[in-house]
Amino acid sequence: MLPKIKRLSRRDLNICNLSGKILRFPNFWLKYLVNNLGFSRFAVVTSTKLSKSAVVRNQLRRRIYSSLSPQHLALSTDVIFFPQKSMLNLGKDEIKELLKNLDIKN
């Protein structure tokens, strides 16, 4: 789990969701917005469309949070991840590899 300072608040999540830029990938898509804090903040949105089981959704959320690298944390952006159903079949190492190749332009 990320420290509270690295997570998006409800207010900031809504701002990023309304005015952020979209990047789409095969297993997930994300919205991001540049901030002036000097570090990145993240949120992972898993709806019941993804899985009816809260346990499965929370496991995926934890895998995504743990796969974020220090390189992602230093970007100075607010990022919202929206995983797709295909991401449920990926292991922790595969998710880490996907996020390692992630390039968010400021």
Number of domains in the chain: 1
Cβ atoms 95, 58 nearer than 8 A? no
In sequence order, what DSSP letters do the residues of 75-88 get, joined into one string? Answer: S-EEEEEEE-GGGG
In Å, how far are 27, 31, 43, 70, 84 from 24, measured between CA atoms?
Answer: 8, 9, 16, 22, 11
In a domain, 106, yes or no: no
Note the pLDDT tens digit of each residue in 1-31.
778 888 888 998 899 889 988 988 888 898 9
Domain harbouring 26, CATH code? 3.30.230.10
Note the pLDDT tens digit of each residue in 52-93.
999 999 999 888 888 887 666 667 889 899 999 988 888 888
Rounded Cα distance, 52 and 30, in Å: 21
In a domain, 105, yes or no: no
